[in-house]
Amino acid sequence: MNTIQHICVNNRPGLKHPVESALLIAGAGIDGDWHAGLGHRSVSLLAEEDLHSLTRGKWGPGTFSENIVCRDLPLATLGVGTRLGLGKNAILTISQIGKHFHQPEHVERISGQYLMAHAGVFATVQQDGEVFPGDAIEVLEEVPRSVPQAVVITVSDRCFRGETVDTAGPAVADLLRHELQAHVQHIDLVADDKVAISEILQRYCDQYSIDLLVTAGGTGPAPRDVTPEATSAVIERATPGFDEAMRLASLAKTPTAILSRGTSGIRGSTFIINLPGSERGAVENLEAIIKALPHGIKKLRGDPADCACCQARLIEEPQRVQAG
């Protein structure tokens, strides 16, 4: 049975301490805890099995600043968007898998590793409720860890100001859900401002567990079309094949497609891909590359298998040897 083994709270940063109960507040976190109100990482969870096996049972609950230590809950298989029922009323939604190191010096000294970075998950509170050690945890809605995670951002001054309705972003999100079976975490808006665009790209790539970030808009030659420049400023590796395929597909339908300056690349373990701002153009461009995304996402996640071209070559090589 999935249960809460320990609840840990501290009103200061650092190690947390086991408590007899806690009040979870929607949109905030655990009442009285340092992490309450910290956006999408307001509640942290860790499997008891990981706490004991990876630290050899030397360190107790709260050592890694985790709020809730769970027993028998398969955290390693649950992806962002999974909804959990805790106790009688509380509901959490998983919002991030693991995290970057954040001043873990004290943890490194005692264990040599920062457990939450690779085994913990973070969540937001969707419904209030008081919870106790021993309470049941129910998986209300599961999003498997294997499902691609995506964010869609429309870049448009007019949409950002509310002067027009964004249709490109929702259309792109629908295509990702239906063709890629992706879980779309957010559909966001940002103005045509290079700094603002770069900041939102970095925030989603670095702080959220996403495989794919797709922008719509700001790819043309107009003075305020700066999405490609903002994207180039944050990517670590370029993926020109996406850009070439999209422009070729669009050029077959309209001669002005050659004016698109959309770019793409990789930041950390996330693909960033620029699409045009019109609903039709965004969908057509994404359709041109969407069949390559599942394999690309697997490779970014660390899949060691050979790519399709290498597998085909391995099959052909023995045939040539036998023929000779």
Could you read off the pLDDT of 109-118 as tens digits, one per residue? 444 446 666 6
Is 42 inside a domain boundary? yes
Do residue 154 and residue 294 come from a single domain?
yes
Is 318 inside a domain boundary? no
Do residue 136 and residue 166 come from a single domain?
no
Over 90: is that where the pLDDT of 84 sits? yes
What is the per-residue pLDDT for 112?
40
Higher pLDDT, 197 or 322: 197
Do residue 25 and residue 112 come from a single domain?
yes
Q: Which of 57, 51, 88, 69 is nearest to 7 (CA)?
A: 69
Do residue 132 and residue 27 come from a single domain?
yes
Span 263-278, mean pLDDT?
97
Q: Could you tell me the pTM of the whole model?
A: 0.84
Q: Which of 92, 109, 141 is the last residue of a domain?
A: 141
Binned at pLDDT 50, 70 and 90, residue 242 comes out as very high
Do residue 191 and residue 132 come from a single domain?
no
Taking each helix axis from N to C end, the angle separating 279-289 and 168-179, rounded to the nearest 10 degrees, works out to 30
Residue 53's domain is classified under what CATH number?
A: 2.40.33.20
Is 119 inside a domain boundary? yes
CA distance 23 to 44: 14
Buried b / exposed e over 176-188, threshold 16 CB at 10 Å, is: beeebebbbbebb
Q: Which residues contact 20 (CB under 8 A, 6 or more apart)?
A: 7, 132, 133
Binned at pLDDT 50, 70 and 90, residue 103 comes out as very low
Mean pLDDT of all residues belonging to the chain: 88
CA distance 210 to 173: 14
Span 62-89, mean pLDDT?
91
Do residue 189 and residue 290 come from a single domain?
yes
Is 313 inside a domain boundary? no
Q: Which of 78, 108, 141 is the last residue of a domain?
A: 141
Number of C-beta neighbours around residue 227 at 10 A: 30
Over 60: is that where the pLDDT of 34 sits? yes
Over 90: is that where the pLDDT of 299 sits? yes
What is the per-residue pLDDT for 117?
63
Do residue 155 and residue 131 come from a single domain?
no
Do residue 223 and residue 84 come from a single domain?
no
Give the domain range for residue 46. 3-141
CA distance 54 to 57: 8
Residue 263's domain is classified under what CATH number?
A: 3.40.980.10
Buried b / exposed e over 149-171, threshold 16 CB at 10 Å, is: bbbbbbbbeebbeeeeebbbbbb
Over 90: is that where the pLDDT of 51 sits? no
Phi and psi for 66 in degrees, rounded to 5? Answer: -80, 145
What is the per-residue pLDDT for 48?
86
Do residue 114 and residue 210 come from a single domain?
no
Gap between the terminal Cα atoms of the chain: 62
How many structural domains comprise the chain? 2
